[in-house]
Structure 1
Amino acid sequence: MSPRALSMIAAILILGGPAFAQTTTSGSPAPDSKTSAKSGGQEAVTRPNTDKPEASKPATAHSAADAKLEEGSNSFTEAQMHKRLENAGYKDIKGLKKDDKGIWRGQATLNGKAVNVGVDFKGNVAAQ
Structure 2
Amino acid sequence: MKKLLLVAALVGASTFGAFAQTSTTPTTDGDTPAVATPDTKNATAPVEGANSFTEDQARERITAAGYADVTGLMLDDKGVWQAKATKDGKAMSVALDYQGNIVAN
Please give the TM-score of this superposition, normalised by the length of structure 1: 0.61
* 1:119 corresponds to 2:81: no
- For residue 93 of structure 1, the aligned residue among 37, 46, 70 is 70
Instruction: Could you tell me which runs of 5 or more consecutive residues in structure 2 were left unpaired when the two chains were aligned.
Output: none
2-structure distance, mates of 1:92, 1:71? 25
What is the aligned residue count? 97
2-structure distance, mates of 1:67, 1:13? 43
2-structure distance, mates of 1:87, 1:106? 14
SS of the residue 1:108 aligns to: strand
Please state which structure has a larger fraction of its residues in strand.
2
Amino acid at match of 1:125: I
Cα RMSD for the two superposed structures? 3.0
Sequence identity (%): 34
SS of the residue 1:117 aligns to: strand
The change in CA–CA distance for 1:10 and 1:120 in structure 2 (over 3 A counts) is same
Which position in structure 1 is the counterpart of 2:6? 7
1-structure distance, mates of 2:26, 2:36? 11
Please give the TM-score of this superposition, normalised by the length of structure 2: 0.73
CA contact (8 A) 1:67 1:125 kept: no
Instruction: Could you tell me which runs of 5 or more consecutive residues in structure 1 were left unpaired when the two chains were aligned.
Output: 24-40, 52-63
Q: Where has structure 1 moved over 2 Å in runs of 4 or more?
A: 11-14, 16-23, 41-45
* 1:71 corresponds to 2:59: no
2-structure distance, mates of 1:100, 1:122? 16
The change in CA–CA distance for 1:119 and 1:72 in structure 2 (over 3 A counts) is same
